[in-house]
Structure 1
Amino acid sequence: MSATAIQNLGSTIPVPSVKELVAHTLDAVPQRYLWDVDGDYPTAPAFSGNSSLQVPVLDMAKLVDPRYQELELQKLHDACKNWGIFQLTGHEIYDESIKNMHTKTQKFFNLPHEEKQRYAQKPGSLEGYGQAFVISEDQKLEWCDMIFLKTIPTETRKLEFWPHNFTKTLDTYSQHMRKVAVSIIGLIAMALGTNEKMLSEAFEGGQYDVRMNCYPPCPQPEQVIGISSHADISAISLLTDCGDIPGLQVLKDGQWVYIEPITNAIVVNIGIIMEVVSNGVYKAPYHRAAVNREKERFSIVTFCYPEKKFDIKPDAKQVMDSECLALYKSFTNEEYFKSFYERIKLSGEGIPFIDTLNI
């Protein structure tokens, strides 16, 4: 299957804008957005979150400081192994870069609907303004509008989907997120005890996609989902919250835990690629987004992938150190994405993607 064909498997059916629904004095949520309270996405009690559990917070400045590195790498290892997600401070990305991107994101979603439609998704592609992975007319919908863009390498960009006056800000932000990704992947490799140089170089030339999310206020927040429970297929994902409204939740020991936003911190989430590379030592956690009855929330996620020539397979050292066989199959980059998109197209929800990669 060609790369173009693989990309086309990621198409989505157009659906109404949630922000437009809310704008028309919405009193009750349309049935298609109401999730089964007895199904896989429990409601009211779960959405209160468990405040006694706190996601680890790591300081990049200490991680790279020889005086603290040994201790901080152990903290990083524990966070990746036991949580699969952590907040990163001290990352040296200028506050202004993050602030500008947040401002542009909010301005885009606050544009008139007709203006945003200029950047709407087209048949056969996920890129642009709309929703992701809507594959049937009776599928339950998420309470979220989004715009998804490929940003790095620059030759993958489809600028017809990039909002007016957005290009410079998004380019700068993407380059900064790549810098963070290369640095943190190198540190994760050190914590894991594998080849730091190999992984860092794979992400220096890697692929970076950005998804900007808008979660409008909802009159029935306990019965909808902003983004449904999933594990990312990336190696890592980097999220910044455009404000202080909590919404991101991670599943920890059977409980949903809110990740409280920290100003200018980056939420680092382990993806399935890194779970495979670590041979299961590090876990790609299930996470989702809740919504708020009164307040709108915006977030920006950068999905970080290794370069195309990087084979996705368990690291040989991890297999030897764990004294067990490889838990996952080996894939080329193309085979990995083909497997994921075919699963979306043919079955949608069902067996978790990571389970399809098991040997």
Structure 2
Amino acid sequence: MEKLSNVAGLSSNDQELPAEFIRPEAEVPVVDFGDPESLVRAVYEASSKWGLFQIVNHSISKEVIEHLQRVGRQFFELPNEEKMAYAKDPESKNIDGYGSRHRNGWVDHLFNKIWPPNVVEYRFWPKNPSDYRYFCLILILAWNL
């Protein structure tokens, strides 16, 4: 099967997503931050099998999440050249930055560590959309309240 250049490109061109990119909602791992006894194991298992998970009971407001989703979508809709300005070095073990390899066939991703402050690499935080950095900082504040 031909590897797709990016998932956002498919949606912006009104193309139908290939079946390999569609997963039932119930299949995506859910990690409950309200259950501290199983938290570490749930994160480990979801990360090992999927490379992603949905977090529930995290106390971050719906408004902050919606803003982060919006700026995330806007980033992935940018031209590839602009996204590549934040590309991570494929030889590096650092997870920060934009890349095009992921588990389960997903090809677009942007990782930015936000905590603790000594590990944040702002050079990988996109300047466009212009409020991306702002809402990441809001997330950090919300998480630490």
SS at match of 2:95: coil
1:154 equivalenced with 2:112 (yes/no): no
Among 72, 89, 95, which residue is 1:126 paired with?
95
TM-score normalised over the length of structure 1: 0.27
In the TM superposition, residue 98 of structure 1 has moved relative to its aligned partner by: 2.1
In the TM superposition, residue 18 of structure 1 has moved relative to its aligned partner by: 2.1
1:104 equivalenced with 2:92 (yes/no): no
Question: Equivalent residue for 2:142?
Answer: 176
Alignment of 1:195-344 (within 5 A): none
Unmatched segments (≥5 aa) in structure 2: 43-53
In the TM superposition, residue 99 of structure 1 has moved relative to its aligned partner by: 2.2
**Do 1:126 and 1:132's aligned partners in 2 also have CA atoms closer than 8 Å?**
no
SS at match of 2:113: strand
**Do 2:68 and 2:135's aligned partners in 1 also have CA atoms closer than 8 Å?**
yes
**Do 2:99 and 2:109's aligned partners in 1 also have CA atoms closer than 8 Å?**
yes
1:88 equivalenced with 2:54 (yes/no): no
**Aligned-partner Cα distance in 2 for 1:109–1:118:** 13
Q: 1:95 to 1:56 in 2, by over 3 A?
A: closer
Superposed structure 1 runs of 4+ greater than 3 Å apart: 23-29, 47-50, 55-58, 84-87, 131-134
Q: Considering only CA atoms, is the larger Rg found in Structure 1 or Structure 2?
A: 1
SS at match of 1:119: coil
Question: Equivalent residue for 2:84?
Answer: 117
**Aligned-partner Cα distance in 1 for 2:24–2:96:** 33
Question: Equivalent residue for 2:46?
Answer: none
Q: Per-residue displacement from partner, 1:185-224 (whole Å, max 9, x unpaired)? A: xxxxxxxxxxxxxxxxxxxxxxxxxxxxxxxxxxxxxxxx
Among 106, 115, 120, which residue is 1:143 paired with?
106
- Write 1 or 2 for the structure with the bigger share of strand: 1
In the TM superposition, residue 80 of structure 1 has moved relative to its aligned partner by: 3.9
SS at match of 1:103: helix
**Aligned-partner Cα distance in 2 for 1:131–1:97:** 26
Q: 1:48 to 1:110 in 2, by over 3 A?
A: closer
How big is the alpha-carbon RMSD for the aligned residues of Structure 1 and Structure 2? 4.3
In the TM superposition, residue 159 of structure 1 has moved relative to its aligned partner by: 1.5
**Aligned-partner Cα distance in 2 for 1:133–1:28:** 17
Question: Equivalent residue for 1:19?
Answer: 7
SS at match of 2:114: strand
Aligned pairs, number: 121
**Aligned-partner Cα distance in 1 for 2:38–2:108:** 30
SS at match of 1:152: coil
In the TM superposition, residue 128 of structure 1 has moved relative to its aligned partner by: 0.5
**Aligned-partner Cα distance in 2 for 1:150–1:56:** 18
Unmatched segments (≥5 aa) in structure 1: 1-14, 35-43, 61-75, 135-140, 180-359
Q: Per-residue displacement from partner, 1:84-143 (whole Å, max 9, x unpaired)? A: 597327x3x343322221221111111122211111112413311114568xxxxxx612
Alignment of 1:71-86 (within 5 A): 76=35, 80=38, 84=42
Q: 1:132 to 1:98 in 2, by over 3 A?
A: same
Q: Per-residue displacement from partner, 1:35-83 (whole Å, max 9, x unpaired)? A: xxxxxxxxx9xx5577xxxx8989x7xxxxxxxxxxxxxxx58x949xx
Q: 1:132 to 1:126 in 2, by over 3 A?
A: farther
Percent identity, please. Answer: 21
- Write 1 or 2 for the structure with the bigger share of helix: 2
